[in-house]
Structure 1
């Protein structure tokens, strides 16, 4: 997975492609040493979404984040302001790139997503296999399940 990149584009002044090493090289102030401090069911080193948005020079008119995982063709569009300061991108586990078994190479993570008080932000907004963050003006492409039945079917497919 060393040749995988996280792309940040769309409504940005500086589109970027970041490798695991590039994320690891960001200053400590941009890092979270272990996300388990926010959710004991999750582990791994992460970078703050706000830092990534600053690096890509997010357009102030952007209202939504498109979260794209092409490995499983999963896409979510969520309101930017609700997650700008609280979300992370997990990229490493035990000093190595985040493995596929943990949703790698990159995984979007919103601690306590319910606290965002936004209908569009649910557990499925914690996108696995993330390879692109797209900033948009207005909602973007979103193929998340629309009801409990679709949601259950998706999880059945993923667990075999």
Structure 2
């Protein structure tokens, strides 16, 4: 049986990727975070840094936005790459196994110390559950985060949609 693809990396990359759990665990240890609780209190799991994924896919210098796609709930967030390049990570494992959907799998994107929610493009809504594709683009990509107070409040009230 073929191992499932957990993460696709597309767009402005030298090497588009379809990564399995084994592929993610095989990324160079310098890019692995064995226990994310050390960087994100209250969180659990193993992660790979965004810097490591940039390296694996040979992201082109022309890419200036990262679009996070979560097909499971049709959520998309496009954020400036420079704002997250060095600090963001992707949680992909919990207790040695692939991250389950009930825990936000296949992957969960997290930016420690994000800015206060909705104060900038990189806010609490950039912490996305169910991520299955990272798309690197020139300019902002597809983004369906709420843009008015009522829609934003509704999103925060609906824990199934994403991180909050």
TM over 0.5: yes
Give SS of 2:130's match: coil
Residue 83 (structure 2) aligns with: 82
Deviations along 1:56-113, one digit per CA (max 9) or x if unpaired, are 1111011100100010000000000110110001000111111112110101111111
User: Is residue 31 of structure 1 aligned with residue 32 of structure 2?
Assistant: yes
- Mapped partners of 1:17, 1:159: distance in 2: 26
Residue 54 of structure 1: how far off its partner (Å): 1.0
Residue 156 (structure 2) aligns with: 155
- Mapped partners of 1:28, 1:93: distance in 2: 17
Residue 157 of structure 1: how far off its partner (Å): 3.5
- Mapped partners of 1:39, 1:99: distance in 2: 19
What CA RMSD, in Å, does the superposition of the two structures yield over aligned residues? 1.7
Q: Which moved more, 1:26-35 or 1:130-139?
A: 26-35
Q: Any stretches of 5+ residues in structure 1 without a counterpart?
A: none
Q: Is the 8 A contact 2:5 2:18 kept in 1?
A: no
Alignment of 1:137-152 (within 5 A): 137-152=138-153
Residue 113 (structure 2) aligns with: 112
Normalising by structure 1, what TM-score?
Answer: 0.92
**How many residues in Structure 1 have an aligned counterpart in Structure 2?**
157
Give SS of 1:108's match: strand
Give SS of 1:113's match: coil
Alignment of 1:24-103 (within 5 A): 24-103=25-104
Residue 150 of structure 1: how far off its partner (Å): 1.1
Q: Which moved more, 1:148-157 or 1:38-47?
A: 148-157
Give SS of 1:114's match: coil
Residue 34 of structure 1: how far off its partner (Å): 1.0
Looking at secondary structure, tell me which structure has more helix per residue.
1
Residue 130 (structure 2) aligns with: 129
Normalising by structure 2, what TM-score?
Answer: 0.90
